[in-house]
Structure 1
Amino acid sequence: MTEISTESVRANVKVRASELVGRNWLNTGGETVTLQDLRGKIVVLDFWTFCCINCLHVIDELRPLEEKYQDELVIVGVHSPKFEHEADPVALAAAVERYEIHHPVLDDPELATWEAYAARAWPTLAVIDPEGYLVANLSGEGHANGLDVLIGELIAEHEGKGTLHRGDGPYVAPPAREGDLRFPGKVVALDNGNFLVGDSGHHRLVELASDLSTVVRTIGEGTKGHADGGAATARFNEPQGLVVLPAAVAGEVGYDVVVADTVNHRLRGVNLETGAVITLAGNGVQRLLDSERSRESGGEEPRELGADPLNTSLSSPWDVVWSEKAGALIVAMAGTHQIFSFDPRTGALAVFAGTGLEGLQDGSAAEAWFAQSSGLATDAAGDLWIADSETSALRRIAFDDDGAAAAVETAIGAGLFDFGFRDGAADQARLQHPLGVAVLPDGSVAIADTYNGAVRRYDPAAKTVSTLARGLAEPSDVLLDASVAGDPVLLVVETNQHRLVRLPLPKEALTVDEGASQTQRPKTPVAPGEHGIVVRFSAPKGQKLDDRWGDPTQLKISSSPEELLLDGAGTSVGLTRTLTLDPEVGDGILHITARAAACDGEPGGEIPDHAACHLYQQDWGIPVAFAADGATELVLDLRGLD
């Protein structure tokens, strides 16, 4: 298979799109799809992996385009797995169903099509015209408006040439799933002995009796959307985390439960007596890091996010927990790789920890990096434990005397591309994309080790890891079940079995060692010594670079191991950098984050007052291997559509 060069795409050289090769097809009724079958259609290839929150954002960005151009456009999801579990065809089929993907999906576990299209990051989009030529290659989120313009232009061009064929595409809907729960996400215990579940696949909340099967009531209409109101009419969109407020706080604010309404990018409040649902924070617009204010403040977001929570954008809040130390809710803001705080009494929202850069970096709260944090719990000392899913890590935040985050440290985990199933000493132990945490009576931490299908235990005193249970189908949450008398029992949300199960804590935990792994992707041959990094970006039509506060672009570069980079690491403005690589270190990974800010306006003109501004960002982790004839320059695309 011939690799498509992004250089030729940029140079407007006509390049035939490479054939779509993989193990299997989903959402096609069992039929194989070829590019010849798609001739006459505009095709968008969406390279994704189901662990990736940015990929899930792009799937949602593409939905309006699928509907608007249903006769001219075919989107093909090319699933190129990051984690070992994601290469499991059963797990992929469940993810396609869970996220309601309404287009064909190519299962590409060997990354054959990924490599042919020179993809380097999740998500990546490639656009193919009706004659089968590649016309655009994009990385990251935020390209929907530019794609809309490009698709309209391609329709006009190929309608005039007679090469556009309207009509249905190859999508075949799978059968609907029956059952009381559908891909449940998180659970919380209620004071009446029942449990409230985020029934994510049905877009509602379900109250279950203590037998875990009897449905006491549902809250939410069960249709994807956003609407406040009574239990029968309110709407959610893939709700995940839930927390019951302390009684005194609930009495003051008038609701009892706060819900992370993930795909609505909102926090919701639920009154348990009436079932009424209100919106507490979030305007429904997915938050990107505030490009204008972050550049004014030296590259970081302001910690305080304004006085009006309903006019503040959030990004995929995944879990919520009440912190007595902070006197507020703590929110795992998976979409921006940060931890937020929210005071329900005042409505104050703030960045509690994290810069917004994706990765594993400890230190002060303002300097730490997270990666799609998805589970939260507090311990007896009031410290915060975090399931940091994309780094397969367990993190901890300690508090200072004023209730602010003091320091972030990693208990388990090595990096963005490191995972595995290994017990023992915590510094050598490995998880695989954990989504939930709970603190046990002895102070140890139970972890829903989702992609290993296991519940793990971390002992903070001994700094060791063990396994409490395995053989589960994507456990996404764990809860200490105080309703059961006797020895402690864990309640586990087994997402891909659409159920909750009780697991007695074993007298002796298992010790598992199935090894440590790294994400396997094709390595880029590089020459030793100096190496140029160039990130290409041009603002989409109708936008211009926002240079009101200086250079609106930024590049941050690091490496694993750190010793790989002799020179060129760090953060600076501009989208070019010269690195010096040390061949004595051997193979490694370059971690590159690029940002560019653009606002609505015409090139050469002034940016209008109150213009909408956009921050384009992409993180790349690029494996490199030294070769005498290797490249001396790496060119990446973070680009709008001309």
Structure 2
Amino acid sequence: MTQKTAQLPRVRASELVGRGWLNTGGRSITLADLRGKVVVLDFWTFCCINCLHVLDELRELEERHRDELVIIGVHSPKFVHEADPVALAAAVERYEVHHPVLDDPELVTWSAYTARAWPTLVVIDPEGYIVAQMAGEGHARNLEILVEGLVTEHDAKGTLHRGDGPYVPPAPTSGTLRFPAKALALPGGTFLVADAGHHSLAEVDADGETLLRRIGSGERGLVDGGPDEARFSEPNGLALLPDDVAAQVGYDVVVADTVNHALRGVRLVDGSVVTLAGTGEQYMVGAADNSPGEGPRGTKLSSPWDVTWWPQAQAVAVAMAGNHTIWAYEPREGRVEQLAGTMNEGLQDGPLGQAWFAQTSGLAAGPDGRLWLADSEVSALRYLDLAPADDAVGDDYLAVTVSRAGDERSAAGTAVGAGLFDFGLRDGAADQALLQHPLGVAVLPDGSIAVADTYNGAVRRYAPGADGGQVTTLARDLAEPSGLVVLPSPDGIELLVVESAAHRLTRLRLPKDVAGEILDAGAHRTQRPVTDVAPGTFALDVVFTPAAGQKYDDRYGPSTRLQVSSTPPELLLDGTGDGVDLVRQLRINPEVTEGVLHVTAHAASCDADPAIEYPACHLNAQDWGVPVRVVPGAAASLTLPLLG
């Protein structure tokens, strides 16, 4: 196996150019202003779950080195909505970004630093030179080692400047709700709201506004207990258990506690909270310690975003957005298992064990047993069908469900959506319709599907049909709708919409004939710089350099993994598939003029000192989707820095 160690040439960092700045008190920042500080540029986009993971990884590093380190967020958007400065400002507030953010809607600074993936991190030393670039998440330990080394080196040279950085906190905001994510209708006519920005749950009256009680202290954390001491961290999905199941297990609601990577249980009678699954640490793809303990509380999860009771599975379905999979939690047995997905990000239908998903963020179970998914990063409405159960189910519900998921009759399908880089607002035939990063889904009384089309600020409707179905628009001009609740109404259909960016719940009254209107606001593709590549033999090189004091981790087998595919598949004549070598020879088809190279790389490293009894080990992982144009005479190689 070939493992390459590459050193970046000593080059000056490029100037930070964009539309404007956030979290600086209105002033612009230049590289000259940052001289004397260790600088980390975090290229991110607020739709991206991996980017949100990196924000969380950076918090501790940022606090520990606040006198020597400046983190600069460079927001380089994927979706059209993310280029809206108002939406960006809301996202910076929503995710509690406590450092300056450069608004880079035209990807000027992104291009200057040759970023090719969200997220990408670039480290600049106090003299203004680039010393490292890394893609993906899981680099917290590597960054810590690198920053500490730079602080020591430049302190000795006299080129380090300690003191306050350029961050200026924005004025605080207040309100009953703050970036609510999802809502749930309770039996008494009230609503339980996942109040993500307040790190708590809020029960509001039937008017959707009057606060009745709050469950959770409002402090970010993972703490069980009564409503005043319990802590959450950006909770999202909520699932109400059937009465008989709730009576058996002692809690009524399952909460997707997203940033805690956990499932929580809430007993409504007294507001007490208990952790059901998750250790509080993130499941890392390919890591050996994803189940460090016994049972669901000893199993690591990855950003569960939504949950719903799925009668067909007799379990709580879990949208595991962080690793692009669907899981099941069975409360009576207290067990959790993966049901669908390969942990590759994309849109691929088929048997559940082979299907690809992309940051699934909304779930709803239909009366026919189908599970509907809002698959946000591919801007798609998708579904899961589970094979029928045998007559003798017994009491081992989860084992039966997992077995049914492995049945060849169980499959994932797509009703609306084209892929990772195609989105827009277009109604009409479902195979031509477009969404933009939907986060919520609900089943309407007539069997059609309502979609919270978040980045279009709309509620859309999919009506199944023999021709593949039709898509219409029910409402527009909403502020990032992220959740939907269908309410009983004698006069038609009523929807409760969670308008996350407006910090409110909004009722939509729809007529009994809920067809909606047909709109076409255009199609979009992600506009990223295209890389020219030569046809024929082509060298792909993923560079990974273990941080100082670390080595490759081969304890559980090969420490690296590389997966390569393309869109369209015909782009690559050779070189696709899995392997352990981070260098791959590809063959580019000269008959295909353009496409996307999909590359997934993993590399594990550990502390190298043999005197350390329990070395700290880390998995570095990243997915790239590199738009390419096939041009004779262009470069015949591509280097992607996982860490270099």
Which TM class, normalised by the smaller chain length? over 0.9
Partner of 1:489: 494
Residue type of the alignment partner of 1:427: D
Q: Distance in 2 between matches of 1:466 and 1:636?
A: 41
For residue 561 of structure 1, report the CA deviation from its aligned partner: 1.6
The 1-side partners of 2:456 and 2:570 are apart by: 31
Contact 1:359-1:369 within 8 A present in 2 as well: yes
| Greater CA drift, 430-439 or 320-329 | 320-329
The one-letter code sitting in structure 1 at the alignment partner of 2:500 is: T
Match of 2:518, SS? coil
Alpha-carbon distance between aligned partners in 2 of 1:148 and 1:233, rounded to the nearest angstrom: 32
In the other structure, the counterpart of 2:448 is 444
Partner of 2:508: 503
Deviation at 1:554, TM superposition (A): 1.6
Q: Matches of residues 568-587 of structure 1 in structure 2 within 5 Å?
A: 568-587=575-594
CA drift at 1:420: 1.0
State whether structure 2 residue 107 is matched by structure 1 residue 100.
no
**Which digits, 9 at most, give the CA deviation of each residue in 1:129-171, with x for residues without a partner?**
1110110000001111111111111111111111111110111
Q: How far apart are residue 606 of structure 1 and its match? A: 11
Q: 1:551, CA displacement in angstroms? A: 2.7
Residue 576 of structure 1, CA deviation: 1.6
Residue 307 of structure 1: how far off its partner (Å) = 4.5
**1:69 is aligned to 2:54:** no
SS in 1 for 2:33: coil
1:546 CA drift (Å): 2.9
- Deviation string 1:487-541 (CA, Å, 9 cap, x unpaired) is 1111100011110111122444111112221101011111111111111113334
Structure 1 equivalent of residue 541 of structure 2: 534
Return the letter of the residue paired with 1:206. A
> Aligned pair in 2 of structure 1 residues 631, 477: CA closer, same or farther (>3 Å)?
same
Aligned to 1:546: 553
CA, structure 1 residues 305+130, in 2 after alignment: closer, same or farther (shift >3 Å)? closer
Aligned-partner Cα distance in 2 for 1:137–1:471:
40
Aligned residues: 619
Tell me: higher relative CO, structure 1 or 2? Use CA pairs within 8 A at least 6 residues apart. Answer: 2
Tell me the distance in 2 between the aligned counterparts of 1:129 and 1:606. Answer: 31
- Partner of 2:143, secondary structure, is helix
Where does residue 18 of structure 2 map in the other structure?
Answer: 22
Aligned to 1:15, the other structure's residue is in SS state coil
In structure 1, the partner of 2:255 is 259
Unaligned runs of 5+ residues in structure 2 are 390-400
What code does the residue aligned with 1:270 have? V
Once the two structures are overlaid, the 10-residue window that deviates more, 349-358 or 502-511, is 502-511
Q: Find the counterpart in structure 2 of residue 356 from structure 1.
A: 343
- Whether 1:115 aligns to 2:111 is yes
Indicate if the aligned counterparts of 1:257 and 1:270 stay in contact, CA closer than 8 A.
yes
Distance 1:161 1:543, change over 3 A: closer
Partners of 1:221 and 1:232 within 8 A in 2: yes
- Indicate yes or no: 2:295 matched with 1:313: no
CA distance in 2, matches of 1:104, 1:358: 30
Inter-CA distance 465–133: structure 2 relative to 1 (3 Å threshold): same
Q: What SS does the corresponding residue of 1:206 show, helix, strand or coil?
A: strand
How far apart, CA to CA, are the structure 1 residues paired with 2:7 and 2:430? 50
Aligned to 2:603: 596
Q: 1:218-297 counterparts in 2 under 5 A?
A: 218-292=214-288
Q: Are residue 43 (structure 1) and residue 39 (structure 2) matched? A: yes
Q: Tell me by how many angstroms 1:30 deviates.
A: 0.6
Q: Partners in 1 of 2:533 and 2:89 — Cα distance?
A: 37
CA contact (8 A) 1:253 1:344 kept: yes
Return the letter of the residue paired with 1:477.
G
Contact 1:480 1:488 in 2 (8 A): yes
Look up the SS of the partner of 1:638 in the other structure: strand
What do residues 106-132 of structure 1 show as CA deviations (whole Å, max 9, x unaligned)? 000000000000100000000001110
Mapped pair 1:379 → 2:366: yes
Residue in 2 that maps onto 1:466? 472
SS at match of 1:177: coil
The SS at the match of 2:328 is strand
* 1:336-391 per-position Cα deviation (integer Å, ceiling 9, x unaligned): 11111111112211011011111111111111111110000000111100101001
Per-residue deviation, residues 460-501 of structure 1 (Å, max 9, x unmatched): 22511111111111000111112x333111110001111011
Aligned equivalents of 1:539, 1:164: Cα separation in 2: 25
CA shift for structure 1 position 305: 9.8
Q: CA deviation at 1:242?
A: 0.4
Q: Find the aligned partners of 1:311 and 1:135 in 2 and give their Cα distance.
A: 38
Written as runs of structure 1 = structure 2, the 5 A alignment for 1:137-286 is 137-286=133-282
Q: 1:476 aligns with which of 479, 482, 493?
A: 482
TM-superposed CA distance for 1:612, in Å, is 5.0
Once the two structures are superposed, residues 420-444 of structure 1 have per-residue CA deviations (whole angstroms, 9 ceiling, x without a partner) of 1111111111110000000011111
Q: Which moves more between the two structures, 566-575 or 616-625?
A: 566-575
In terms of mean alpha carbon deviation, does 150-159 or 623-632 score higher? 623-632
Residue 6 of structure 1 corresponds to none
316, 324, 332: which one pairs with 1:329?
316
- Structure 2 distance, partners of 1:629, 1:53, is 37
User: Does the C-alpha gap of structure 1 residues 340 and 306 become closer, same or farther in structure 2, counting only changes over 3 Å?
Assistant: farther
In 2, Cα distance between the equivalents of 1:15 and 1:221?
A: 48
Residue 625 of structure 1: CA displacement?
A: 1.1
Contact 2:146 / 2:547 at 8 angstroms: preserved in 1?
A: no
Residues of 1 paired with 2:471 and 2:612: CA distance?
A: 54
Query: What is the aligned counterpart of 1:625 among 625, 629, 633?
Result: 629
Distance 1:550 1:173 in 2: 46
Cα distance, 1:607 vs structure 2: 9.9
Paired letter, 1:382: G
Equivalence for 1:82: 78
Q: Quote the offset at 1:418 in angstroms.
A: 1.2
TM-score (norm 2): 0.93
TM-score (norm. length: structure 1): 0.94
Distance 1:161 1:546, change over 3 A: closer
One-letter code aligned to 2:527: Q
C-alpha change, 1:622 and 1:76, in structure 2 (3 Å) is same
Q: Is the 2:292–2:298 Cα contact (8 Å) retained in structure 1? A: no
Equivalent residues of 2:6, 2:543 under 8 A apart: no
SS of equivalent to 1:351 = strand
Q: 1:53-106: per-residue Cα shift (whole Å, max 9, x none)?
A: 000000110000111001000000000000011000000000001011000000
Distance 2:19 2:543 in 1: 33
C-alpha distance in 2 between matches for 1:132 and 1:363: 50
Distance 1:564 1:101 in 2: 39
The 3-state SS of whatever aligns with 1:36 is helix
SS of 2:508 mapped into structure 1 = strand
Task: Check the 8 A contact 2:324/2:360 in 1, yes or no.
Answer: yes
The answer (yes or no) to whether the contact 2:593–2:631 under 8 Å persists in 1 is no
**C-alpha distance in structure 1 between counterparts of 2:292 and 2:384, whole Å:** 21
Report the CA distance shift for 1:577/1:456 in structure 2 as closer, same or farther (over 3 A).
same
Q: Secondary structure at the match of 1:16?
A: coil
Which residue, out of 357, 362, 366, partners 2:353? 366
- CA RMSD in angstroms comes to 1.8
* 2:523 maps to which of 505, 516, 519: 516
Aligned to 1:296: none
Percent of paired sites with the same residue? 61
- 1:613 to partner: Cα distance: 4.0
Distance verdict in 2 for CA 1:128–1:577, change over 3 Å: same
CA distance in 1, matches of 2:134, 2:61: 16
